[in-house]
Amino acid sequence: MHDTETRQGRFIRNVEKEQSMRSDFDKGMTNFAYMGLNALKVGTKVRFLDEVGNGIVTKILSDAKVMVEDDSGFEYPYDASRLLVIEDIKEEKMAYERVVPTVLEIIQQDISPERKSRLEKDFKTKYREANARAHGRSDMEIDLHMHAIVDSQSGLNPTTMLELQLAHFERMLQIGIRQRMKKLVFIHGIGQGVLRHQIWSRVEQYYPDCSCRSADPREYGSGATEVWIGESAFN
């Protein structure tokens, strides 16, 4: 009888201890999220805990959610507890300072809001997949032809299409830099040579640690450019 009471007492104490530990853990997680939210302000640079990449807080939505613009220039709501504030200066400098316009900033035509939203989601998907595809690789091939970038060119004038191609080029190059790749091959076609010229000019102007070369003519003819990423781009 005495042994039974002792065992029951031990069991009750263990249960109470487990409940106390669980309560402390829950409080700790709540405090962590609360501290994370307190550290987040508009303009704060953050790293995502559940995915690759960084972002900038653009709006405080609630006690637990904030709006964040990611590396691709798209805004999405995130739980404050799933974001890590970037405080180290070196870490902040990992991303290129060159700001590429977003899809919505480029598209000025009178196209439907539904299509604008679809284009935004399509490009975000492209960059998520590119980040995953680039991980651990030394090179990557990117097609800059419009049919490979958007599902339909209707409503987009030539100037807008060129801007979309160049923005896509720069974002893919930045992904390559973040993923520490050595070479990216951009297929731009021959045409009038405008896109090729703009690619070479932007690399020279905005990405001094990178260099352009004509891609292997046996494989691409005259319609592709190799961009080589120097080691100094990773510092």
**CATH number where 160 lies:** 3.30.1370
Q: Which residue has the higher pLDDT, 113 or 210?
A: 210
> Both 85 and 50 in a single domain?
yes
Q: What's the chain's average pLDDT?
A: 79
> Both 49 and 136 in a single domain?
no
> In the structure, what pLDDT confidence band is assigned to residue 141 with cuts at 50, 70 and 90?
very high
Q: Which residue has the higher pLDDT, 189 or 80?
A: 189
Half-sphere exposure for 124 (CA within 13 Å, toward CB): 14
The token duo for 74 is 């798209």
Q: What is the per-residue pLDDT for 35?
A: 42
> Both 192 and 110 in a single domain?
yes
DSSP state of 233: G
> Both 37 and 86 in a single domain?
yes
> Both 62 and 108 in a single domain?
no
Q: How far apart are CA 126 and CA 212, in angstroms?
A: 23
Closest CA to 63 of 36, 42, 90, 87: 36
> Both 215 and 105 in a single domain?
yes
| 209 C-beta neighbours (distance < 10 Å), count | 15
> Both 11 and 117 in a single domain?
no
The residue range of the domain holding 194 is: 100-234
| Boundary (domain end) residue, out of 70, 91, 112 | 91
